[in-house]
A and B are shown apart, each in its own frame.
Chain A
Amino acid sequence: NWSRLREDWRKIEEESLHLVAPVWNGGTRGIGGLSRVVAPEGNQKKGRSLLQFLADRFYDVEALRDHLLRKRVSKVHQKNRPFNHINQRYGPYVAGAYFILKQGGAVRFQGREWIRPNQRGHFSLDFLKLQAVPVEAVDASGCAINYQGLDSLLALKELQSLWLQRCPHVDDWCLSRLHPLASSLQELSLAGCPRVSERGLACLHHLWNLRRLDISDLPAVSSPGLTRILVEEMLPSCEVLGADWAQGLKLGPEEQPRDTAGPIPA
């Protein structure tokens, strides 16, 4: 019974934190703006459980649930705090590398191998002597990096490759912050980020040096095929890995799916 209650807590917290407002009236919205505030009925029913029932009737349970939610949010904020003392002592490159390693990601300095934390999250502090060596590649896949945490990344002025696959808190606001890396960033991967939509992808045009961009499997993008075409037009010298452009096109029963060599010219 306790384990079921714990499951319910975790489900509610996950729903409140990771739920992206579902795109359920599809396509471009009308001018008066249909509100996207209310989720479809199915979601509401799933959330109702013993926990909800208790929280509706007892102030203590409600306060406890709110407290746990706030603790969850503050845990993410705590993970994204800047390491100012390391920055002052060892410089921005080491501070950025330490930040990423602490989150569970991997870092590669110029001319060196990848540094990754092991299963338990421990990593060697050998890189502390690499104060003057710029960081070339960062793999922050699956890390809880958010808008605040990008402060540490943006100090890495010679960053060439940034992987933000499946990061649950990277959203459109974070993408708008990436423009200081425009002169060096050549590879960016956003595959599987649940909060990135086509509106954030529109501000990637600042990254004029970008050569490889991975925007596959973005659930919040409303028309993946069309978005991929528009991003390819926006960044002409960049190779865009994304959804198949024919995705979303309705094919008749006689038609075969065509060869996906390139996008249709606009």
Chain B
Amino acid sequence: MLRRTLLLGLCRGPLGRGLGTHRGGSILDRDGKMSEIKKKIQSILPGGDWNPLYDTSHLPPESSDVVIVGGGVLGLSVAYWLKKLEKPRGAIRVLVVERDHTYSRASTVLSVGGIRQQFSVPENVQLSLFSIDFLRNINEYLAVADDPPLDIQFNPSGYLLLASEKGAAIMENNVKVQRQEGAKVCLMSPEQLRNKFPWINTEGVALASYGMEHEGWFDPWCLLQGLRRKVQSMGVLFCHGEVTRFMSSSNLMKTASGEEVNLKRIHEVHVKIDQSLEYQPVECAIVINAAGAWSGQVAELAGIGKGPPGTLQGTKLPVELRKRYVYLWHCPQGPGLETPFVIDPSGTYFRREGLGHNYLGGCSPTEEEEPDPGNLEVDHDFFQDRVWPPLAQRVPAFETLKVRSAWAGYYDYNTFDQNGVVGPHPLVINMYFATGFSGHGLQQAPAVGRAVAEMVLEGHFQTINLSSFLFSRFYSGEKVQEHNII
């Protein structure tokens, strides 16, 4: 009301009518200056975003309750569940800091997108079962008013794990554990395998486990965009910047047994803006480390691992960057529509891509052959030497394949036991981890996000008990070894 009368007052000068209603040029609208002045006045009036000193719209807010370092699928999943489980609505302010808004090196979008329940650790099976449930009902969870529904392009073709003589007993054990948790997996003999998939060469295969339901692959980019859209509609703020520093304070406390521990608390997160020297100190209560392959570096910034080795203070977060290659090839005589995600005993894997006889696949290198993770260049010799021979041996039709393209991505590889790290750090009490999943983070992201949100809001895990995935196992040495890591 006030604004309109002021504007009318301004224009009521010589012409006597509002701007925009004249036909020809007016004396006042010379060089478009009038519209500029109008815009400036509108921003000065209450409700506009006028800052007399300088523009800070590109900076993150000065304070936020939770700061999530890393905007990949795990970070966004934690943000989503924090906003979904908070009471009352709108209670928690969440800020997601992501330094690469094109996600060009993020593990999420470079992943092959598979989801399976065929793990050896029961918690992994439970996480994956909840995640597939989430993906099936994704339009109920991530619905945003007025936006079209998501189509994650899920292929329910299942996983086929092959085992040699040595691994057959372990596979049987694993299948028993998986079935107990509710996964639909069946065991097949080489004879049954040949009947079902005539294109497989069952030489050297003693047993196979085939996931009948809830397994397959989907489009991770769509899940990421869906989460991003929903999380923005719930009021989470995004910032394109990099976390460069944590300001924390320490407290010397005594445990119940009289031992002295130095507990740290992070007070501020310094977020440096992209391509600039500007940084903003963000006051926060809780920091969530979901930086994926770079989580180790973020943990070092917080002082985790700075201490004499062998103590809790000296235990680093053992998450490292590891480079993995994925190759896309074309083979017109290759297996047909029924091809599941096949994993050879040698570690080579492949799956069908689309309808045109294209296949995606790769292999995890051994410790000695680990490529240098400094860049994302693809080594095509690796395919010739390490991926193609086992593939051609397992599926004879693949002897005549032609590689169409390839790319590389990072694993947030947990060198300790290749399973995720979830929950708070015992000494830096307000840093929570959601990282280190070594290649199966995408498929467990919805469930892990919920677990971390429960930990933050309630203080303990409520639905899935992930206490064996806490940080303290790195100090106590209790490995939760996952055998079925690709």
B158 within 8 A of A: yes
B136 beta carbon closer than 8 Å to chain A: yes
CB of A31, distance to nearest CB on chain B (Å): 6
Decide yes or no whether B482 CB sits under 8 A from chain A.
Answer: no
Q: In the bound complex, how far is the Cα of B226 from the Cα of A233, in angstroms?
A: 35
Q: Does A21 contact B (CB under 8 A)?
A: yes
Q: Write the chain B residue with the least CB distance to A56.
A: B146
* Other-chain residue from A38, A62, A200, A223 in contact with B355 (beta carbon distance below 8 A): A223
Residues of B within 8 A of A231 (CB): 337
B356 on the A face (CB < 8 A)? yes
Pick from B155, B222, B407: contact of A31, CB under 8 Å: B407
Q: Does A116 contact B (CB under 8 A)?
A: no
- B374-410 near A? 1/0 per residue, CB < 8 Å: 0000000000000000000000000000000101000
Does A173 contact B156, Cβ atoms closer than 8 Å?
yes
Is there contact, CB below 8 Å, between A176 and B156?
A: yes
Contact A28 B156 (CB under 8 A): no
Contact A73 B148, beta carbon cutoff 8 Å: no
Q: Assuming the A-B contacts A19-B149, A31-B407, A234-B338, are A173 and B355 also in contact, with contact meaning beta carbons closer than 8 angstroms in the complex?
A: no
When C-beta atoms are compared, the residue in chain A nearest to B228 turns out to be A37
Residues B151 and A21 in contact, CB atoms below 8 Å apart: yes
For B221, B328, B358, which residue has the most chain A Cβ atoms within 10 angstroms? B221
CB-CB under 8 A for A202 and B405, given A28-B353, A36-B151: no
Pairwise interchain contact B225-A230, C-beta atoms closer than 8 A = no
Pick from A37, A62, A199, A223: contact of B222, CB under 8 Å: A37
* Residue of B with least CB distance to A173: B136
Give the contacts of B112-170 with A (CB-CB under 8 A). 136, 140, 143, 145-151, 153-158
- Does B336 contact A230, Cβ atoms closer than 8 Å? yes
| Residues 327-340 of chain B, each 1 if its beta carbon lies under 8 Å from chain A, else 0 | 01000110011100
**A233 and B336 form a contact (CB under 8 A):** yes
B274 interface contact, C-beta 8 A:
no
| Nearest CB in chain A to that of B132: its residue | A173
Query: How far, in whole Å, are A172 and B109 apart by their CA atoms in the complex?
Result: 23
Q: How far is the CB of B260 from chain A (nearest CB, A)?
A: 52
B219 within 8 A of A: yes
Contact flag A32-B148 (CB < 8 Å), given A37-B222, A199-B156, A200-B156: no
Contact, CB under 8 Å: B155 / A199: yes
In the bound complex, do residue A36 and residue B337 qualify as a contact, i.e. CB atoms below 8 Å apart? no
Interface residue B213 (Cβ < 8 Å from any Cβ of A): yes
Interface size on A, residues (CB 8 A): 47
Does A173 contact B154, Cβ atoms closer than 8 Å?
yes
- Complex CA distance for A241 and B155, rounded to whole angstroms: 22
Interchain CB contact under 8 A, A21 and B154:
no
- From B148, B333, B352, contact of A39 by CB (8 A): B148
Are A31 and B405 in touch, CB under 8 angstroms? yes
Q: A177-B213, A203-B158 are in contact. Are A19 and B153 (CB under 8 A)?
A: no
Q: Tell me the nearest residue of chain B to A65, going by C-beta.
A: B145
Residues of B within 8 A of A38 (CB): 148
Binary contact track B21-61/A, C-beta < 8 Å → 1, others 0: 00000000000000000000000000000000000000000
Within the complex, the shortest CB–CB distance from B320 to chain A, in Å, comes to 25
A161 to B149 CA separation, bound complex (whole angstroms): 32
Cβ–Cβ < 8 Å partners of A39 in chain B: 148
Which residues of chain B from 84 to 117 have any CB-CB distance to chain A below 8 Å in the complex?
109
B140 to chain A: closest residue by CB: A73
| B148-A202 in contact (CB<8A) | no
Contact B229 A37 (CB under 8 A): yes
How distant is the Cα of A111 from the Cα of B238 in the complex, in angstroms? 65
Using Cβ atoms and an 8 Å threshold, which residues of chain A touch B333? 266
On whether the beta carbons of A198 and B212 are closer than 8 Å, the reply is: no
Contact check, A47 vs B146: say whether CB atoms are below 8 A apart. Answer: yes
Starting from the known contacts A31-B328, A37-B148, A175-B156, 5 additional A-B residue pairs (CB-CB under 8 Å) come to A34-B221, A35-B225, A36-B219, A176-B216, A206-B212
Enumerate 20 A-B pairs (CB-CB under 8 Å) in ascending A order: A16-B149, A29-B219, A29-B354, A31-B328, A36-B151, A37-B222, A37-B225, A37-B229, A38-B148, A55-B145, A198-B337, A199-B216, A202-B156, A202-B352, A203-B156, A223-B355, A230-B336, A230-B337, A233-B336, A234-B336
Interface residues, chain B, CB within 8 Å of chain A? Answer: 109, 136, 140, 143, 145-151, 153-158, 212-214, 216, 219-222, 225-226, 229, 328, 332-333, 336-338, 352-356, 358, 405, 407
